[in-house]
Structure 1
Amino acid sequence: MKRIKNAVCGAVAAGLFAGLMSQPIMAANVDGPPVFWKFSVWGKSRALTAGPEHLAARLAEETGGKFQLKIFYGDQLSKAKENLDGMRVNAFEAAIVCNFYHPAKTPALMVMSLPFLPIKDFDTSIAVRDALYQHPVAVSDLEKWNAISYASTHLPQYEFMGTGKPPETLEDWNGLRVRAGGGVGLAMEKLGAVRQSMPATEVYTALQRGIADAVSFPFTYAHGAYKLQEVASWFTGNLKPGTADCPIVLNKTSYDSLPDQYKDLLASLKPEVDEVYREVYGKADERYLPIFQEALTEVTYDPATREEFQNVAGQPIWRQWVSDNQESFDAQGVLDTVLNAGNGS
């Protein structure tokens, strides 16, 4: 079995950024005052950071270097779970925040962690997340932290890799020990699986030693980055059990103080950020999917089976989420917004 020497996510993200930065800064297309913004993110340059890296390069390019967005990696400005706290005290001007790090801080965004939502492809991801970010409840959630949403990092749908007998039916998941968090983990419990929790760095060993039967990660880049194909025997190719949400957010005070031409520039660059993520994750699929398909058994489900998954392991959790949150905010309205956007209505 071939070994993957480098994680494609970091390589692609760095390549996109380096390519943009290698281009000479031209005369400003958008004139304005000097602006210096700090961007907070944990970890190193990788697929997740490809969007802000592209944004930083394009802001500098369009303004002749007057609008500088500097990315601080590795928790230099704030820990991952505290980026919203930093927003509230104006410690920096932009950040990536993940709903699962602080569910109580952005409860409406947790709708994106529900299992088996109708997000079938990247275009649907854009439609769903844009609609959610514009919902008054989601807007209010972020404004409490002096933040506004800018764009999504479009985490891909999760899929599973595992060992042993491939789970070809709903019943086959019964009794499997699965590493899955959030709504995906709850969905697997509905199918009779035993949910496990462990850091991402431990999943390779867990599969190798038989501690876990299956693990979920954003597909395909995270599976490849952790080289799970070396110790797995099968993977799900189209289960699409769920995802999470890690939007790029801007400090509201800083954004409001920008001149209109800079606000317009940010808005015009948002579609480019979306497309960067399409390319990054697409390149991961191009690299890893053929390797997975050659080395492992691919488990795919027909539309009727996927609908059954949704009925058994999705909708009951949707209803419970609405029931748990309806007294605090319009949870049904938030869920309906996501479902309508996902179904194209």
Structure 2
Amino acid sequence: MKKTTMTLCVSALTLAFATEAMATEWNVSVWGKRRAFTEHLHKLAELVEEKTNGEFTMNISYGGLSKNTENLDGISIGAFEVAQFCAGYHADKNRAITVLELPFLGVSNLDEEVAVSHAVYDHPAVADEMAQWNARMLMTSPMPQYNLVGTGEPRDELSKFDGMRVRATGGLGRAFEAVGGVPTSVTSSEAYQAMESGVVDTVAFAQHAHLSFGTINEADWWTANLNPGTVNCPVVVNIDAYDALSDEEREALDSSVPEAIDYYLENYGELLARWDEVLAEKDVEKVMISDAQLAEFKEVAMPIHQQWIDDMTSQGLPGQELYDLVNDTLEGDARVELSRSARRTG
């Protein structure tokens, strides 16, 4: 009887250990704090866990696994399975997707941002470049056009940008430089301190980041319609980890991407809808740039596009092809359908 009982106990323990061993647990590296910019990751984790009955879980860490500028490096060595990063943090590591950070691309809403991002992510040149970091594109983190917050007198004319120290990365930084600004690429987490200490005069962010990183609390004014462009921030997965998933787990992950993006867009839309209330609460002046000034800014910044194409081509990347892909995706009446398609396919 004792022998039978012991055998049953051993069998139960063996089964328990086997069940535990079969469970898949991934770590996700992000930074800052939970905000609109990371909501799709939380939704993705929730959906994946639901679809696998708790056998596939994702632990989201805010800064506990890596610096935001080193997330792609962490993915490359398998330090964690999923990470979010922004192209402008290390343009040399992800050259192909920096086409999405060119100024004045003509993206007018978040649906279009999803469409152009996923179209570019699907290009073989992007896949090849990411594979060098053992990374596979999973989904974008769509952000609206960046705008400035600043202190003192509003900078509502291009002449006032001359000498302006601005926190801006990538193509945005080059755009402000073209009109006399002095860009600095401090990380988002450092932006508030840089503004508070006077290292920068202005900070270019999307709305959620001005809130999350506190720059709106230092601001006297905000440019409502400058809209020079945005930063592109993909979510990537370690290729080895992705390939090691079972068919069921991979299906749960892939099928959850469009749902997570839809949730993100709905949540971000709520933030945009109450943005004017935020400005009023914090006594921040809403500054409108004239059409003439916007046209001049765009004209000055447009040569950056051709320079990007030439630079990428000289480095062996299909610069013109990637640039045309963005424009073709945005072209004509296909915009809405393309954005919907991108969200469905992830």
**Could you tell me the TM-score, scaled by structure 2's length?**
0.79
Q: Higher helix proportion, which one?
A: 2
Range moving further from structure 2, 135-144 or 267-276: 267-276
- Aligned match of 1:289 in 276, 285, 292? 276
What's the CA shift for 1:73? 3.3
Distance (whole Å) between structure 1 residues aligned to residue 85 and residue 304 of structure 2: 24
State the partner residue of 1:242.
229
- Name stretches of at least 5 consecutive residues in structure 2 with no aligned partner: 1-21, 335-346
| Maintained 8 Å contact 1:118/1:343 | no
Range moving further from structure 2, 332-341 or 133-142: 332-341
State the partner residue of 1:24.
none
Check if 1:35 corresponds to 2:24. Answer: yes
- The two structures, once aligned, show a CA RMSD in angstroms of 2.7
| Maintained 8 Å contact 1:177/1:195 | yes
What's the CA shift for 1:206? 5.9
Q: Go from structure 1 to structure 2 and tell me whether the alpha carbon gap of 1:213 and 1:146 turns closer, same or farther (over 3 Å shift).
A: closer
| Maintained 8 Å contact 1:117/1:342 | no
- Aligned match of 2:266 in 254, 276, 279? 279
SS of residue matched to 1:326: helix
Distance (whole Å) between structure 2 residues aligned to residue 134 and residue 175 of structure 1: 39
| Maintained 8 Å contact 1:164/1:213 | no
Distance (whole Å) between structure 2 residues aligned to residue 229 and residue 92 of structure 1: 32
Larger C-alpha radius of gyration, 1 or 2?
Answer: 2
Distance (whole Å) between structure 2 residues aligned to residue 271 and residue 121 of structure 1: 17
What's the CA shift for 1:126? 0.9
State the partner residue of 2:73.
85
Distance (whole Å) between structure 2 residues aligned to residue 173 and residue 228 of structure 1: 19
% of aligned pairs identical? 39
What's the CA shift for 1:89? 3.1
Q: Deviations over 1:255-290 (max 9, x none)?
A: 223333333332321112212322332333344422
What's the CA shift for 1:343? 3.6
State the partner residue of 2:59.
70
State the partner residue of 2:165.
177
Distance (whole Å) between structure 1 residues aligned to residue 211 and residue 43 of structure 2: 23
| Maintained 8 Å contact 2:33/2:212 | no
**Could you tell me the TM-score, scaled by structure 1's length?**
0.79
Distance (whole Å) between structure 1 residues aligned to residue 29 and residue 219 of structure 2: 35
| Maintained 8 Å contact 1:175/1:193 | yes
State the partner residue of 2:16.
none
Which one-letter code corresponds to 2:203 in the other structure?
V
Equivalences for 1:49-60 in 2 at 5 Å?
49-60=38-49
- Name stretches of at least 5 consecutive residues in structure 1 with no aligned partner: 1-32
What's the CA shift for 1:132? 0.8
Distance (whole Å) between structure 2 residues aligned to residue 85 and residue 232 of structure 1: 34
State the partner residue of 1:190.
178
Which one-letter code corresponds to 2:174 in the other structure?
L
SS of residue matched to 2:235: strand
Equivalences for 1:1-345 in 2 at 5 Å?
34-76=23-65, 78-196=66-184, 198=186, 200=188, 204=192, 212-218=200-206, 220-293=207-280, 295-301=283-289, 305-313=293-301, 315-328=302-315, 329-344=317-332
